Amino acid sequence: MAHNHKQIKPEYLFLILSLILGPLYTIFMPLLHLPDELGHFYRVLTLLQGDLFCLPDGEALLPVPVLPYLSGEGSQAMLWSHTSWSLNDAAPTMVSVVNQCLYLPLCYLFQVIGVGIPYLFTHNSIVLLFSGRLVSGLVCTLLIYQAIRLMPVGKHYLALLALMPINLQERFSLSVDNITFAVCVLLIALCLHLRYEPSVSKGKLGLLYATLLFLSSCKVVYFLLALLVLLIPSDHFASKQKGHLHKLCALGMTCVISLGWLIFAGTYLDATKAGANAGEKVVYALSHPFRYLAVILRTQYYWILDRNYINDTVGKYLGLMDIEVPTYAVLVLYVLLIAALFLDYLQNNKRDIPASILLMGTELLIVLAILSSLYVQWTSGAPAQIGTIEGVQGRYYAPIFPAFFAGVLLLLPKINRHNHTEKDLSGILWILFAILFLMQLPVLYHLYHFAM
């Protein structure tokens, strides 16, 4: 007699661990000790003041509630010793939010909600920071949960990737990287899901448009993920003609919003780290494509040579790249990602070469867009003298890793599974998540030790 073994779903394990680890990261990660978190906090405050757009020079008039710490004269301990500091305690000061002005206000929606609700009752800066982190992190957790639930291939890898220290750090912060990761993986999962579903329901069509709208408000390089709507067969809509129309509208909406905002926000580019000669660098890259390609290849070569593909994927260095995670924990977590991919391969019963080509091709285009944006905005020097692109970080690639590896899995031949496979794989899944949780303990210890 056949026995039905109830298999634990990875999205449930992801949700459980996120609800445990997320608040711990919120508390233990030093406040304002993440890339640009201070600028994001200031941008949220400008939005709460009703300033949807920044001044032409990328500055804003705001109270600076924790000035001794932020000016570098204090420490994290000093910040905690001034938990009574309030926005009312500081005189308005001109502060720079130029990097944050490059984002559409929509992508700050959940940070604004997280900071805005307690802002009605208190102006205590510590309360506002913690609330903004936690609320935006929980909302993104629900979006990623939905992505894992819908993902037809590679869901175990996605679940573990989202629980890596670097991604937990970003998710439970004021950075817009959290919503960027969440909407990117949700779009990847949704488009793959609708490719293999017999029809597109009104609810999922609405979710598709909403996801694309948020995608358009994030870092402009990711708008290319909208190409994945081409994965959905047109005859899965109410009619093939409507399918063509919906895909055309989806692509058009994303391009118009993303590129339109890029043109508008280009006025702030001169005030960024290396954006003053952006035009010169664009002209040089277009007129010397092979030299520019050499710069890209050299950049990726050194990134791989320095083992940053391992360190950045997991999170060897957290905070402002000054909180080091134990090497053994990084290696174990990286092995867990490989094991999750193997688990996905064993469970995959699809081979879809056209989808694989589109997924990996889109990922390649986004990688080129990421590097090009860093070349224009962040890399200093005369164009002809630039040897490598500055500012490359693995967290920029994290939102598109699931697309690439889903493409790899769909390219591999299917395997024949035995009857006991599902039970065995369920046990392996429990082990993977248990080890992941154990490896988070030394990470949290180092965060706590650094903060205190």
Residues 357-392 pLDDT 10s: 999 999 999 999 999 888 887 788 788 888 888 888
- Percentages helix, strand, coil for the chain (3-state, rounded to 5) are 70, 5, 25
Rounded Cα gap, residues 312 and 303, in angstroms: 10
The answer as to whether 315 is a domain residue is: yes
Rounded Cα gap, residues 115 and 325, in angstroms: 29
| Residue (of 405, 375, 398) closest to 144 by Cα position | 398
pLDDT at 149 over 90: yes
**Which contiguous run of DSSP H or E holds residue 182?**
helix 177-196
The answer as to whether 93 is a domain residue is: yes
Rounded Cα gap, residues 292 and 387, in angstroms: 9
| Residue (of 41, 43, 363, 34) closest to 171 by Cα position | 34
**Which contiguous run of DSSP H or E holds residue 351?**
none
pLDDT at 324 over 50: yes
Mean pLDDT of the chain: 84
Please give the single-letter amino acid code of residue 110: F
The answer as to whether 44 is a domain residue is: yes
DSSP state of 173: S
Total domains in the chain come to 1
pLDDT at 257 over 80: yes
| 182, 147 contact by CB (below 8 A) | yes
Predicted confidence at residue 65, as pLDDT, reads 56
Rounded Cα gap, residues 19 and 238, in angstroms: 39
Gyration radius (Cα) of the chain, Å: 22
| Residue (of 156, 48, 60) closest to 425 by Cα position | 156
Predicted confidence at residue 50, as pLDDT, reads 85
Give the three-state DSSP class for 60: strand
The answer as to whether 160 is a domain residue is: yes
The answer as to whether 391 is a domain residue is: yes
The answer as to whether 389 is a domain residue is: yes
- Domain containing 344: what range? 10-451
Predicted confidence at residue 73, as pLDDT, reads 42
Q: Buried (b) or exposed (e) across 140-170, using 16+ Cβ within 10 A? A: bbebbbbbbbbbbbbbbbbbbbbbbbbbbbb
| 129, 31 contact by CB (below 8 A) | yes
Mean pLDDT of 386-399: 85
DSSP state of 322: T
pLDDT at 111 over 70: yes
Rounded Cα gap, residues 330 and 164, in angstroms: 9
pLDDT digits 0-9 by tens, 39-94: 898 899 889 888 888 777 777 777 665 444 444 444 455 555 555 556 665 667 77
| Residue (of 17, 355, 8) closest to 164 by Cα position | 17
Predicted confidence at residue 374, as pLDDT, reads 87
Top pLDDT among 211 and 58 is at 211
Rounded Cα gap, residues 133 and 398, in angstroms: 20
Rounded Cα gap, residues 424 and 17, in angstroms: 22
Give the three-state DSSP class for 12: helix
The answer as to whether 5 is a domain residue is: no
Question: What is the rounded end-to-end Cα distance, in angstroms, of the chain?
Answer: 59
Poorest-pLDDT segment among 16-20, 148-152, 193-197, 386-390 = 386-390
